[in-house]
Amino acid sequence: MREIDQRLASKRQAAELGGGQARIDRHHQRGKLTSRERLEILLDEGSFTESDMFVEHRCVDFGMQDQKIPGDGVVTGWGTINGRLVFVFSQDFTVFGGSLSEAHAEKICKIMDQAMKSGAPVIGLNDSGGARIQEGVASLGGYADVFQRNVLASGVVPQISMIMGPCAGGAVYSPAMTDFIFMVKDTSYMFVTGPEVVKTVTHEEVTHEELGGAETHSTISGVCDLAFENELHALRKLREFYDFLPLNNREKPPVRPCEDPPNREETSLDTLVPENPNQPYDIRELITKTVDDGHFFEIQPDFARNIIVGMARMNGSTVGFVANQPLVLAGCLDIKSSTKAARFVRFCDAFNIPIVTYVDVPGFLPGTAQEYGGIIKHGAKLLFAYAQCTVPKVTVITRKAYGGAYDVMASKHLRGDVNLAWPNAEIAVMGPKGAVEIIFRSDIGDAEKIEQRTEEYREKFANPFVAASRGYIDDVITPARTRTHICKALAMLANKQLENPWRKHDNLPL
Ligand code: HXC
């Protein structure tokens, strides 16, 4: 072998060995894969092209000049997922804990810049102790350079973060500005400051898991969109999720050949909604029975469970689904569910993904906890998101659509394109009982009269026909034919054109 070839081979080997075999072994013992092993699972076989394998840090403090590892703790490049281009970076915890140096940041920035030019998503596999402590402000600057690119790429190319180890400090803020954050249970953590700092500052004693584990962030904080059992499962599900997304904001979502007939009827849906309007039912059943092959990819399933969001396909094309869930809090809108759905609606709108909304909502959740928490502002986020979005919007009211929540949930008034209702839908300012107690307050002592008034109100307003007579509902449909109606509507809307007025940017109620 020529000397130069030998040098190249040994440099490659050094890069591939990262922080050394001992650290790799320790990493494996923790149930974690190395940065390169992760990429092998995520990407199509043989598709990965690595760049910047020989980049080294430039730090000379704390003896760092003698500790240079080619690649400097992050593997970057591009490849394909089911044949579609993707840019990736995968942090190597065996090299200084995956911490971000100036050079490490430059590598990430380089592939982000290329992703923007090529119009393809960026997936980050994050496993990092944050800013490289030995480098001081140079690493902070590196983070800011990444943050700036996250923001400029937002809404231009999809950005997905998979958290695969302890991520602290800057290592959580870059993911926070990406579109989706996925985590691996038991081996990944996200926190701004770790348990030791928490103890010093607030005297709270908390474990890594309690403070920032996948369970915490997928159920309590809502920071995490999905938590997976292990790394292998996580990476495979990420491949599945990727297939739903367009590569950039100028593309339509990918279309797959579909064997499931668009006019498939589902007679069981005719009895999905119970006779008793106060009895709950599982709206997820409606989603899975109407989408292609029952395949629904739910996002944030364990957070704000009173609303369901996720991706599916209708006649082969990606569609975003939003649905009130009567099983939880009767499907009310509250702070968390409004924020969750608003973010999802905005993602779909940014990337040309049509939105189907299933409505069964008794209103906004009342109470001091909600008011003090700012439900006015947070509920307005969902209203704002639906009103602003220009992608095709198809809405089906299955039962209740009361009050402000009727307006919010992709109503005709917010430029809903096709608004449908099932025959038993109730569309009114509020439920019959509440309405009668307000407008006939003087009759409250007279149970018979109240009962009669309630029946009268129900007869008059608790149906879809008043809204249909005004054209707010385009049609009242048989539940069994819901899929047919949605597929027809989406086909009609395939080339929908709608633009909002020019502005620098809107002022979403944050
Ligand atoms: C340099 C680091 C490092 C860091 C870890 N290491 N974090 N080196 N800079 N930030 C090194 C360790 O020295 C160790 O080296 C190796 O990585 C593995 O770390 P361990 O502590 O042995 O691993 P573990 O017990 O699993 O703990 C992982 C950890 C912990 C939870 C990430 O290392 C940790 O708390 N690190 C510091 C986190 C932090 O405070 N980061 C700065 C945040 S400030 P050896 O040689 O022994 O293998 C920040 C500012 C940006 O990011 C803010 C922008 C908004």
* Amino acid in position 494: A
One domain for residues 99 and 202: yes
Q: For 287-328, what is each residue's pLDDT tens digit?
A: 999 999 999 999 999 999 999 999 999 999 999 999 999 999
Are residues 216 and 331 located together in one domain of the fold?
no
| Whether the predicted pLDDT of 445 surpasses 90 | no
What total number of domains does the chain contain? 2
Nearest to residue 161, comparing CAs of 197, 205, 214? 214
Shared domain check, 222 and 83: yes
Backbone angles phi, psi at 107, to 5 degrees: -65, -45
Examine the residue annotation and report whether 403 is marked as an active-site residue of this protein. no
What are the C-alpha distances in Å from 162 to residues 138, 237, 424?
25, 11, 43
Given the CA of residue 208, which atom of ligand 1 is nearest to it?
Answer: 31
pLDDT in tens, 463-485: 999 999 999 999 999 999 999 99
pLDDT band at 458 (very low <50, low <70, confident <90, very high): confident
Q: What DSSP letter does each residue of 162-188 carry, written as one string?
A: EE-SEEETHHHHHHHTSSEEEEETTT-
Q: Are 309 and 201 found together in one domain?
A: no
SS3 116: helix
Q: Is residue 159 part of a domain?
A: yes
Residue type, 145: D
Question: In this structure, is residue 3 part of a structural domain?
Answer: no
Indicate whether 348 belongs to any domain.
yes
- CA proximity to 14, closest of 98, 73, 62, 96: 73
pLDDT band at residue 456 under the 50/70/90 scheme:
confident
> Would residue 289 count as lying in a domain?
yes
Q: Indicate the pTM of the whole model.
A: 0.95
Identify whether residues 159 and 297 lie together within a single domain: no
Distance 164 CA to ligand 1 centre (A): 14
* Mean pLDDT, range 408-430, rounded to an integer: 96
Testing ligand 1's pocket by substitution, the residue of 133, 174, 193, 211 carrying the most ligand atoms inside 8 A of its CB is 133
Q: Note the pLDDT of residue 457.
A: 87
Average pLDDT, integer, range 193-222 = 94
Ranges of beta strands (E only) in 53-94 are 74-81, 84-91
Q: Where does 369-471 show beta strands of DSSP type E? A: 393-402, 418-421, 426-428
User: pLDDT tens digit string along 132-147?
Assistant: 989 989 999 999 999 9
What's the whole-number mean pLDDT along residues 95-117?
97
Where in the sequence is the domain holding 129, given as residue range(s)? Answer: 8-242
Given 18, 170, 194, 431, the catalytic residue: 170
Catalytic status, residue 494: no
Q: Is residue 419 part of a domain?
A: yes
Determine the distance separating the centroid of ligand 1 and the alpha carbon of 127, expressed in angstroms.
10
Q: Do both 26 and 75 map to the same domain?
A: yes
pLDDT higher than threshold 80 for residue 153: yes
Residue 449 within a domain: no
pLDDT tens sequence across 66-94: 888 889 999 999 999 999 999 999 999 99
* pLDDT given at position 187: 94
Query: Which residues contact ligand 1 via a Cβ below 6 A?
Result: 23, 96-97, 99, 129-133, 140, 143, 166, 168-170, 173, 194
Output the CA 100–ligand 1 centroid distance in Å: 10
Let me know if residue 324 belongs to a domain.
yes
Distance 11 CA to ligand 1 centre (A): 26
| Residue 57 and residue 195 in one domain | yes
Q: Considering the chain, what percentage of its residues have pLDDT values greater than 90?
A: 86
Considering the domain architecture, whether residues 271 and 237 belong to the same structural domain is answered as no
Tell me the pLDDT band of 434, cut-offs 50, 70 and 90.
confident
Angstrom distance (rounded) from CA 147 to CA 364: 35
CATH number of the domain at 47, please: 3.90.226.10
- pLDDT tens digit sequence for 252-283: 999 999 999 999 999 999 999 998 988 999 99
Does some domain include residue 89? yes
Q: Are residues 15 and 146 in the same domain?
A: yes
Nearest to 17 by CA among 40, 45, 36: 36
Q: What is the mean pLDDT of residues 189-214?
A: 93
Residue 404 annotated as catalytic: yes
Q: Looking at residue 64, what is its pLDDT?
A: 84
Question: Whose C-alpha lies nearest to ligand 1, atom 18?
Answer: 97
333-373 pLDDT, tens digit each: 999 999 999 999 999 999 999 999 999 999 999 999 999 99
